Structure formats: structure tokens, C-alpha cells
Amino acid sequence: MVLREKSLFSTRAEYGVRLMMLLARQYGDGPLPLARVAEIEELPLSYLEQLAAPLRRDGLIRSQRGAQGGYELARAPEFITMGEVVRSLEGPIMPMMCAPEDEAHATCVRGEFCSAQVLWSRIRDAVTGVLDTTKLSDLASPLAGRDTPGERTPLLTINSRLEAAR
């Protein structure tokens, strides 16, 4: 779809996070169908379906099947960390084979001689640190992180802004 150089995470995390943020804004207003998400975020519906599956299995979102159905957050946005979201979509965070999250079974063949491992572990910890301390509620407002406190922004607002943009 887009031209894509190498990047630390894949589109699964990217799209999945965008999906979750949309659900966060919608939280409390009933389920949102993926077709709407696909439309708003301009993402392929069939791909989104693939991303919703693990999120649901991991208890981050709830589904309502059938007409008027869709997905909604299983918990309030302030109780969902980005770490849960990203791990659900991408699996455990490891910057390198020899530095898995589960330090127990590092697959580093070279064992004690691999002192580079220290570096990769530090990086992994830095990444998971951000991921685990950032909650969905920290990002869900379009103004969040932009040095403005930012009140809640309903979907309606976002839609009209998208209209205006094209």
C-alpha cells in the first residue's frame, strides 16, 4: 500500500494502535463496526479483521456480532496500556534474538561471551518502559502529547475534520 522502509514495528502495531485509539474515543457509546474504522482510518477492512482477532482473544476489546454490532474496549482507556496492545499484535518485544522479554530462555548461542546482549537488553527495557507506562487514555485525545490538556473529542468532530481535509 504505502512505500515502506525498514521500521522497528510492523503495520500490525501501527494499524492496531489506530484502531484502539478510535475505540477509545468511542468508549461508552456502544460498539463501532470495523467497516467504520476502515473508512475513517482509510485501512483495508479485511486486514483490520485480522488485527481485531488477537485483541479480542487477549481481552482488550469485546465484540458484538450481527447488525448494529461492532467492537468496543473491554475496559476504560485508562486501564489499557500500549504495552498490552502492541504485545497482543506483535508478540513479545525483543530487539534481538539474544534479548527476549522472557530473559530465561535467551536463544543466544554464545551465552556468557555475548556482551552485546547488555545493549539489546537496555534497549528492550527502554521500549517496554514507554509501552507499559503509556495508557490508551494518554493518546486517545487528538490533542494529547501536544502540550495541550485536550478535552474529549467525539467521533463526529473527527469525521468533519476529515471531510474538510480533502
Among 1, 8, 13, which residue's Cα sits nearest to residue 96? 8
116: DSSP letter? T
**Using the rule CB under 7 A, is 4 a contact of DNA?**
yes
Among 18, 40, 41, 47, binds DNA (CB under 7 A): 47
In degrees to the nearest 10, what's the CA dihedral of 12, 84, 63, 36?
A: -40
CB 61 within 8 A of CB 23: yes
**Using the rule CB under 8 A, is 165 a contact of a second copy?**
yes
With H, G, I as helix, E, B as strand and everything else as coil, classify residue 27. coil
Separation CA 156–CA 162 (nearest Å): 10
- Which residue stretch of 28-36, 51-59, 66-74, 156-164 sits at the interface with a second copy (rule: CB under 8 A)? 156-164
**Using the rule CB under 7 A, is 131 a contact of DNA?**
no
Q: Which residue lies nearer to a second copy by CB, 74 or 123?
A: 123
In the shown chain, the binding pattern of residues 59 to 98 toward a second copy, with x for contact by CB under 8 A and - for none, equals -----------------------x-------xx-xxxxxx
Q: How far is the CB of 76 from DNA (least distance, A)?
A: 20
Among 69, 74, 75, 127, binds a second copy (CB under 8 A): 127
The option from DNA, a second copy, none interacting with 141 (CB < 5 to 8 A, set by class) reads a second copy
**Site residues for a second copy per CB under 8 A:** 2, 4-10, 13-14, 17-18, 21, 41-42, 82, 90-91, 93-98, 107, 109-116, 118-120, 122-124, 126-127, 129-131, 134, 139-146, 158, 161-162, 165
